[in-house]
Amino acid sequence: MNNQVQTQASNNKTAKTAAGVQISPYQRLVSLPVQADNIFHFPEGLPAFENVKEFVFLLRPDTKPFIFMQSLNPPDLAFVCIDPFMVYSDYCPNISEGDRMFLRLERPEDAMILSIVTVRPNVRETTTNLQGPIVINIQSCIGKQIVCEGQQYPLRYRIWDALEKVQARGGEAKPAYKEAGVV
């Protein structure tokens, strides 16, 4: 039997399945099978969420460019994320040697970097945290929120104007990594 966890849009309850947990983070998300190797492990959790250690990333064309970082337990916790390179073209976070070792990063292309978004009632005031990006080794499925040591990126970078510029030029995001600073 295929070991899967499923996200469903049917209701907002958690139910046990033969393979694990069934989560339904938002009514509008469709049912998505999640393979065990698509579960990302955050051994230290996230600041203020140290006990939350397993996440899946949900992508939907109608919420692009946003990505949902959905917790498996508790299933009602999700973070909105964005590719920081899309909204801040000169972004080049330094990942410390200790963080690279923790994440087992050997090559820049193995790193996916995301930034957590804070959605405000006035969407034009929506911000993202560029000083504390989420770094994920896509090969080992290990993630960590790091601090860009020795750099002064904004904690609350307003993203709306940058998103409008990307949309106006019909552009897509750059890959969620850059060679400089990653390895």
When the pLDDT of each residue in the chain is averaged and rounded to a whole number, the result is 79
Handedness of CA 20, 55, 24, 172 (dihedral sign): negative
CA distances from 40 to 4, 12, 49, 148 (A): 14, 22, 15, 21
Residues of the chain with CATH 2.30.290.10: 83-183
CATH class of domain segment(s) 83-183: mainly beta
pLDDT at 51: 95
What is the value of pTM for the model shown? 0.74
Q: For residue 136, list its beta bridge partners.
A: 112, 143
What digits encode the pLDDT tens for the residues 69-89? 999 889 889 999 999 999 998
pLDDT at 171: 58
In the chain, what percentage of residues exceed pLDDT 70? Answer: 74
The token duo for 1 is: 């039997």
Q: Which residues contact 168 (CB under 8 A, 6 or more apart)?
A: none
